[in-house]
Structure 1
Amino acid sequence: MKREELADLMAFLAVCEERSFTRAAARLGTSQSALSHVVKRLEERLDLRLLTRTTRNVSPTLAGEQLADTLRPAFDDIDARLAALNRLRSKPAGLVRLNSSHHAALEILWPKLSPVMADNPDVQIEITVDQRLTNIVTDRFDAGVRLGESIEKDMIAVKIGPDMRMLAVASPEYFRRHGRPQTPHDLTNHNCINLRMPTLGGLYAWEFEQDGKPLNVRVDGQLISTDMDLILQASLDGRGISCIPDFHVRRHIEAGQLEVALEEYAPPFPGYHLYYPSRRQATPAFSLVLEALKYRG
C-alpha cells in the first residue's frame, strides 16, 4: 500500500468518526477542502460512495460503515504497538488526550497536571472540555473524567476528587422573604431555579435522602438554565433556591452570600473519577498523568 493511500484511509476514518468534515479537519490539522478532496479521491479509487453528505451532517454509507469497521481495529492496533515502543524510552514522552467537564478541568486536572508538564517537557497533554457523555473509545481519547456514578462498568475508574453533595441554597434575603423549607417536599412552594441537563435535555430532579432512602423532588420556578454559573448568579441575586454541587458554592456560603437549606437530607455521592478502557496498555506518559491525578484524601 502506498503512503498516500494509508493517509487517505486515516482521513476517511476521522470524518466517519466525527460525522463532520470541519471537526475531522481540526482533529487532523488540515483544511476542510483538502480533507473533502482526499475522501473524494478515495471514493474514486475504490469506485464506491463511502459518505452521504447533507448540509447539516455527514454519515457513512453501508460500504463506508464496513470500511470503518475494518480500519478502526487495525489503526487501534497500530496505536497500541507504537505505545509499546514508546514504553522503551528512558523517560515519559508523547501525547495524552483527556476529555473532561469545565469544572474538573479547571479545578482538578490543571492544578495537578501543570507540575507534570513542567517536570516532563516531552509529555504533551490535550484536555478537551465537553459536557456531553463522550465515548472516549470512539473519539480516541486516552481517558475521560466523569462523576463516579455515571461510568460504564467495562471501564477502569480511578478516584481523582473527593465525594460531593448537592446543596439547596439561596441568598439570606430570599429566605427572609419566603421562609426556609423544612423538608424536601416544601420546595414545591418555593421559586426554584431548574437545571436542564446538557446531555439528555431533561430537567434535573433534585436528589435527597430520607431515612436512608432516595427522595427525588421535581421543582418549579421562573428560571431554567443549562449553565451552572448562571444558576449560581441567580441564587446570589435572590431569585430563588437552587440545587448546586457543594464545591461550586462553598466560598459563597463561607462569605455569608448563600445559606444552605435541607442539608440533613443531602447525601454524599462519588466525585470525579478518571476512567479508561480496561484493555488499555498504559504508556509511561499516561501512567505519569494517572499517578498525578489520584485522589489521596
Structure 2
Amino acid sequence: MKQNFTVRQGALDGVEVFLSVAEHRSFRGAAAALGVTPSAVSQAVRVLEARIGATLFIRTTRSVGLTEAGERFLARAKPAFEELVAASEVARGLGERPSGLLRLSVPRAVVPILLEPLIASFCEANPEVEVEISASKELIDLAAEGFDAGIRLGQFVAADMVAVPLTAPFRFVVVGSPGYFVARNRPEHIDDLRTHACIRWRRSGGALALWSFNDNGQPIEVAVTGPFIASDFLGMLGAANAGIGLAQLPEPMAAEGLRTGKLVRVLDAYAPMIPGVFLYYPSRRQIMPKLRAFIDHVKSRTAITQNGH
C-alpha cells in the first residue's frame, strides 16, 4: 500500500545546536561556538526534545551528558548533518564559480563544424567544467531531460527560450555532385525539381521535410521526391557527395564541398535565408555559473569570428 511521506516544517531546527552541545558537553561552550546566548541554546534544545518526545541531555550543575536517547540520536544525526552540510557546500560551489557538468543537446551536424573548436577552447578556459554533448535530431524539453542548454537552427527554437546566435544568418542551398549532372541538366527553375532525384530528410516527428525557397520575396515550400531519405543533414550531405541526388543543405555544411568542387550549387536565385544557428536555454534567471561562462565564451568567440580575427 502506498504511503504519503512529508517532512515536517522545522524538522531540522535545533539539530545543529544539539550537536554542538554534545560535542562541547556544555551549553555555554556550544553558545560560544555558535555565537549565540546560553539561554538561546537551552531553548533550542528544549524545543527539539519536545518535538522528538524524549530527553536528550542529563544536566547537572557541573556537567552535561547524553541520555540513551541522546546517544542514539547523536549516532544518526551527526553523520546525516555532516552530509547535509557537505551537500550544501557542493551546491554552493556550483553556484559561485563555473564548475560541474554542463549538458548540451545539439544536432549531430554542428558537432564537427561548429562545436568542437568552441568546446575545446571553453574546456581549456574552464578546467572545472565537464561538458557532455548529446547529439540528436529530436527537439527535446531541456528542463525535463536535464540539459542546461541546446543548439538548433533559429527557426526551431521556441519563442519562450533565450537565444544566443552562434553564427550569422546563412542560406539554404541546393547542391549535387558533378557526377550526378553527367547525364542530367541542371535545374534552372523550382519546377525543374520534378524531374530530379531529391534527397529528403525525415523530421523527428516523423514527417518528411519540405524544401523551402524564396521566389522574389515570396516563400515557397515544395514536396520533392527521390530515392533516398536521410535522418539528418549529415546523411543528406553524404548522399549528395555520393551522387545519389540533389540535397538542400545549410550553406556552411556544403561550403567545403563547394570549395573543392565535390559539389555544385544550383537554383541559387531561389535560396532562402535562415536566421542561423543558436544556443538556447530556458530562462535568464537562476543561470548557473557554468552556463553563464559558456554563454560568455560563445559570445566572445562569435564576436571574434564576425570581426574576422
The bucket for the TM-score relative to the shorter chain is 0.5 to 0.7
- Cα 1:175–1:157 shift into 2, 3 Å: same
Report what 1:86 is aligned to: 93
- SS of 2:269's partner is helix
| 1:210 equivalent in alignment to 2:215 | yes
For residues 242 and 98 of structure 2, the distance between their equivalents in structure 1, rounded to whole angstroms, comes to 49
Q: Which residue of 1 aligns with 2:151?
A: 145
Matches within 5 A, 1:3-82: none
Q: Contact 2:193 / 2:224 at 8 angstroms: preserved in 1?
A: yes
CA shift for structure 1 position 204:
1.4
2:148 aligned with 1:128, yes or no? no
Q: Give unmatched runs, 5+ long, in structure 1.
A: 7-80
1:277 aligns with 2:275: no
Is the counterpart of residue 245 in structure 1 residue 250 in structure 2?
yes
Alpha-carbon shift at residue 173 of structure 1 (Å): 3.0
CA drift of 1:84 comes to 7.8
Counterpart secondary structure, 1:172? coil
Pair 1:167 & 2:161 matched: no
Tell me the CA shift for residue 122 of structure 1.
1.4
What's the offset of the Cα at 1:273? 0.8
Matched residues in 1 for 2:227 and 2:138: separation? 26
1:179 and 1:140 mapped to 2: Cα distance?
49
Displacement of 1:208 in angstroms is: 0.4
How far 1:231 moved relative to its partner? Answer: 2.8
Instruction: Give CA-to-partner distance per residue, 1:139-180, whole Å, 9 cap, x none.
Output: 121111111111112111111123232211112232242101
Aligned sequence identity (%)? 34
Please give the per-residue CA displacement for 1:78-105, whole angstroms capped at 9, x wherever unaligned. Answer: xxx989833664x432222211111223
Q: In the alignment, which of 87, 97, 115 is matched to residue 109 of structure 1? A: 115
Please list the CA deviations of residues 104-133 of structure 1 after superposition, one character each: whole Å capped at 9, or x if unmatched. Answer: 233323311222222322122222112101
* Cα RMSD for the two superposed structures: 2.4
Counterparts of 2:249 and 2:134 in 1: how far apart (Å)? 23
The one-letter amino acid paired with 1:180 is R
Matched, 1:181 2:195: no
Conserved? CA contact 2:137–2:232, under 8 Å: no
Q: In the alignment, which residue of structure 2 is the partner of 1:232?
A: 237
1:203-249 residue CA offsets vs partner (Å, 9 max, x unmatched): 11110001101011111122222243343233223222121221222
Identify the match of residue 261 of structure 1 among 258, 262, 266: 266
* 2-structure distance, mates of 1:128, 1:233: 21
Q: Is the 8 A contact 1:83 1:283 kept in 2?
A: no
The alignment status of 1:286 with 2:291, answered yes or no, reads: yes
One-letter amino acid of the structure 1 residue matched with residue 176 of structure 2: A
Structure with greater Cα Rg: 2
The aligned amino acid for 1:207 is S
Per the alignment, in what secondary structure is the counterpart of residue 137 of structure 1?
helix
SS of equivalent to 1:287: helix
**Cα 1:108/1:232, change in 2 over 3 Å:** closer
Distance in 2 (alpha carbons) for counterparts of 1:83 and 1:163: 40
Is residue 222 from structure 1 mapped to residue 239 from structure 2 by the alignment? no
Give, in whole Å, the separation in 1 of the partners of 2:227 and 2:267.
Answer: 21
Inter-CA distance 290–224: structure 2 relative to 1 (3 Å threshold): same
Which runs of 5 or more residues in structure 2 are unaligned? 7-87
Distance 1:147 1:124, change over 3 A: same
**TM-aligned CA distance change 1:234 to 1:114, over 3 Å:** closer
Distance 1:225 1:87 in 2: 40
Tell whether the 8 Å contact from 1:185 to 1:217 is kept in structure 2 after alignment.
no
TM-score normalised per structure 2: 0.64
Shift of 1:202: 1.4
Is 1:96 the counterpart of 2:102 in the alignment?
yes
